[in-house]
């Protein structure tokens, strides 16, 4: 039975559905999306059906949807989803779905599922629901790529310093400094302070993945700009899901 469509509309989804300023400028948004696409691409087979769950803006999804791949972008925030549909509506190998539409797909629909920088916004129970559903949607021995997992040791200060180094290397340092100051007064920071981020040690995430029907290992490097966060590569087992 599919579970994705039954997840509640969280406060975090409502935030991403709003006019937020999480990116300091258009350059930041573009480089962020391009870096993720560039880092994910080497993990993907030349011929594959790929799901990007909680994909966000995904400005460079066309780098993933090569001639041998079909890409499904799934996003809960309706305004983001509408922008994705407008951007990629003419791309025959990219489709945009809501979580409810994704829940209606048959089992074993995908070779690879990517979920990047989403785990920290889910409760542990929501995370387990998604992992169980991904197990249903993946083909046997299919790959789950779980990126940007926040460990208990990574602080907001560390995140800020990493962003500044990323900004300095990509031409938007001044905007990043102003943006960080603005973030402290933003709805994002109020939500993060009140709700917190869900954090996992390497051992805890590996245990959760193994318990829910995967063969997990930690990747050598994280996807995206933050080297202090973790990416996990998890193969779907041949046994039925939980």
Number of domains present in the structure of the chain: 1
pLDDT tens, position by position, 166-186: 999 999 999 999 988 887 777
Domain span at 151:
4-236
Give the pLDDT of residue 242.
Answer: 58
Cβ–Cβ under 8 Å, residues 175 and 28:
yes
Residue 53 parent element (H or E): strand 48-53
The pLDDT confidence band at residue 52, using thresholds 50, 70 and 90, is very high
Is 209 part of any domain?
A: yes
pLDDT above 70 coverage of the chain, percent: 95
What is each CA distance from 156 to 5, 139, 183, 198, 211, in whole angstroms? 31, 37, 12, 13, 30
Is 241 part of any domain?
A: no
Question: 116: which strand partners?
Answer: 147
| Tokens 């994280």 sit on residue | 222
The pLDDT of residue 6 is above 50: no
Is 80 part of any domain?
A: yes
The pLDDT confidence band at residue 188, using thresholds 50, 70 and 90, is confident
Cβ–Cβ under 8 Å, residues 208 and 130:
no
pTM: 0.92
Is 124 part of any domain?
A: yes
What is each CA distance from 69 to 94, 146, 194, in whole angstroms? 9, 19, 40
How far, in Å, CA of 50 to CA of 54, rounded? 13
How far, in Å, CA of 150 to CA of 174, rounded? 26
Is 126 part of any domain?
A: yes
Is 31 part of any domain?
A: yes
How far, in Å, CA of 111 to CA of 141, rounded? 8
Cβ–Cβ under 8 Å, residues 183 and 108:
no
pLDDT tens, position by position, 68-82: 999 999 999 999 999
Pairing of strands 138-149, 230-236: antiparallel
The pLDDT confidence band at residue 152, using thresholds 50, 70 and 90, is very high
The pLDDT of residue 194 is above 90: no
The pLDDT confidence band at residue 240, using thresholds 50, 70 and 90, is low
Helix axis angle for 124-137 and 202-211, nearest 10°, is: 50
Q: What is the CATH number of the domain that holds 97?
A: 3.40.50.150
The pLDDT confidence band at residue 11, using thresholds 50, 70 and 90, is confident
């Amino acid at each position: 039975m599919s579970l994705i469509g039954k997840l509640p509309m969280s406060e975090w989804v409502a935030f991403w559905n709003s006019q937020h300023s999480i990116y300091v400028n258009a350059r930041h948004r573009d480089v962020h999306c391009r870096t993720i696409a560039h880092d994910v691409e080497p993990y993907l087979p030349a011929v594959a059906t790929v799901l990007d769950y909680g994909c966000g803006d995904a400005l460079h999804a066309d780098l993933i949807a090569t001639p041998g791949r079909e890409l499904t972008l799934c996003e809960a925030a309706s305004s983001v989803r509408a922008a994705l549909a407008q951007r990629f509506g003419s791309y025959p190998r990219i489709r945009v779905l809501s979580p409810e539409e994704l829940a209606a797909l048959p089992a074993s629909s995908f070779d690879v599922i990517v979920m990047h920088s989403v785990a920290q916004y889910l409760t542990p129970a929501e995370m387990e629901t998604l992992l169980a559903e991904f197990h249903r949607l993946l083909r046997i021995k299919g790959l789950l790529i779980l990126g940007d997992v926040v460990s208990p040791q990574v602080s907001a200060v560390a995140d800020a310093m990493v962003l500044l180094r990323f900004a300095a290397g990509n031409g938007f340092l001044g905007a990043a400094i102003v943006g960080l100051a603005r973030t402290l007064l933003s709805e994002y920071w109020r939500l993060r302070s009140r709700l917190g981020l869900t954090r996992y040690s390497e051992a805890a995430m590996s245990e959760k993945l193994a318990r829910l029907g995967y063969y997990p290992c930690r990747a050598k490097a994280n996807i995206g700009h933050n080297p202090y966060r973790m990416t996990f590569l998890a193969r779907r087992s041949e046994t039925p899901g939980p």
